[in-house]
Amino acid sequence: MNSKSKTIILLFAAIFAACHSWAASSEWKVNPNGQVRLIASADRVPAHGKLTFGFQFKTTPGWYVYWKVPGDSGYPPSVQWKGSEGFKNPTIFWPAPTRFILPGNITEYGYAGNVVYPIQAELEAKGATVQVKATLSYLTCNTACVPYKYTLALNLPVGPEKSDPEAKATIERFLELVPSAQKTNEEIQR
């Protein structure tokens, strides 16, 4: 193969890689109150086993997102997985929240700053990629709330697992903050 042919092959490979962004994180969706993205603990996943990923939020100072039990008002993030392929039974885990006391003695529970809502699912890949497509609806709040809705996506190639050390450590840090099964919502809210 001559050098011109090699150059053409490398060029097509680069274009293909750019069009099929395989990465352990999606692009950030940014708004005035913060940003959100999907992150996965691995860049490449096996056809069967466990998929660990999550929604990573970074809120603007003074703003927060909700826990699974929001408190006196608001609602927790909700997600639809339409268009996803290669996994089933996604379970969202909820790190222990912060209590926010608002004017009028309104109590709410959620997260300010950087937080990951860890998710685990069963892999059952039938093709060359696992496609995570999530339509996420959530509120960011301060003294008032603003609703947002984004579609986030990850395409993870199937093969021998290749961890993303930074994303894996971030997700694991928030998994460690998930209360044990013995703690009830009422105990956490005290």
Mean pLDDT of 18-26: 59
Closest by Cα among 160, 126, 22 to 13: 22
- pLDDT at 15 > cutoff 60: no
Q: Are 36 and 156 in contact (CB under 8 A)?
A: no
Predicted local confidence at residue 7, as pLDDT: 36
pTM for this predicted structure: 0.84
Q: Are 158 and 44 in contact (CB under 8 A)?
A: yes
Chain Cα centroid distance, residue 6: 38
Determine how β-strand 29-31 pairs with β-strand 34-40. antiparallel
Report the C-alpha gap between 76 and 26 in whole angstroms: 21
40-98 pLDDT, tens digit each: 999 999 999 999 999 999 999 999 999 999 999 999 999 999 999 999 999 999 999 99
88: its two tokens: 């089933």
